[in-house]
Structure 1
Amino acid sequence: MHVAGRPRPRGPWIWAWAGETGPPVDLYETAEAVVIRVAIPGAEGAALTLTIDEEQVVLRGETPPPGARWGERTVVHWQEIPYGKFERRVPLPTPVQKDAARANFRNGILEISLPKRVTAQPRTVQIQLG
């Protein structure tokens, strides 16, 4: 927040919530899938990169500051929305089928659905006598 009479901060804006760098994340687990929802207001879907490995999901992207489209003579009086490059790593609570992952970006919310990996079930084998 800018205080009157003090210089305004300059440079890239940093995303930060609870010690993390990046936008806020909700992580859900259903019987069938792990679902991750990420709030990224102002981002363009094409500017986002999603990588899934065995243990985590990594989201990289950038949200451009709106002032860039208004010109250099824009005066910012108040700015709380974070802008700039970000990276967010979300640890997965259970193994998933990464090849079956789906991602949908709508109204500033990225929703990632990761079907759970089917684990081998114990099998009883009939023992033949003789």
Structure 2
Amino acid sequence: EMVVTIEIAGVEITDFSIYVEKKVMVIDGIRKSPHIFTSECLTFHNIEIPYGRFYRRIDFPILVEPKQYQYKINNGILTLRFPTMKERIIPIEEG
């Protein structure tokens, strides 16, 4: 089993996508700034959460079954679980 956890606090479900094929997972999305951050009269000294577009590519060390995933979102953390693909050995015979 391959388990991936992604911090998505402040990201709307409709604002990101996840693509998985064999040994690669791509996460693409945007974390929009809250309305309070758009005021021009504010000055920030430290912002802990980055806003804007994000893109991540994760190369898995093993093949996964992308269509058989399970997911859970809890406190801004997305957990994805993928079963691994079984290795297929193709017999070769002389003939």
- 1:72 paired with 2:39, answer yes
Which residue of structure 1 aligns with residue 50 of structure 2?
82
How far apart, CA to CA, are the structure 1 residues paired with 2:26 and 2:73? 16
User: What is the aligned counterpart of 1:102 among 50, 54, 70?
Assistant: 70
Q: How many positions carry a matched residue from both structures?
A: 89
Do structure 1's residue 35 and structure 2's residue 12 form an aligned pair? Answer: no
SS at match of 2:79: strand
What TM-score, normalized to structure 1?
A: 0.59
Q: CA deviation at 1:102?
A: 2.3
The match for 1:46 is 14
**Higher-strand-fraction structure:** 2
TM-score, normalization: structure 2? Answer: 0.78
Distance 2:19 2:48 in 1: 28
CA deviation string 1:66-108 (max 9, x = no partner): 2xx1252450322232110011011111111111012333321
Shift of 1:34: 0.1
Q: Does the CA contact (< 8 Å) of 1:45 and 1:105 recur in 2?
A: no
Aligned CA distance change for structure 1 residues 74 and 37 (closer, same or farther; 3 Å): farther
SS of residue in 2 equivalent to 1:112: strand
SS in 2 for 1:117: coil
| Residue pair 2:22, 2:65 contacting (<8 A) in 1 also | no
Higher relative contact order (CA 8 A, sep 6+): 2
Amino acid at match of 1:83: Y
Q: Percent identity of the aligned residues?
A: 25
Distance in 1, matches of 2:16 and 2:57, equals: 13
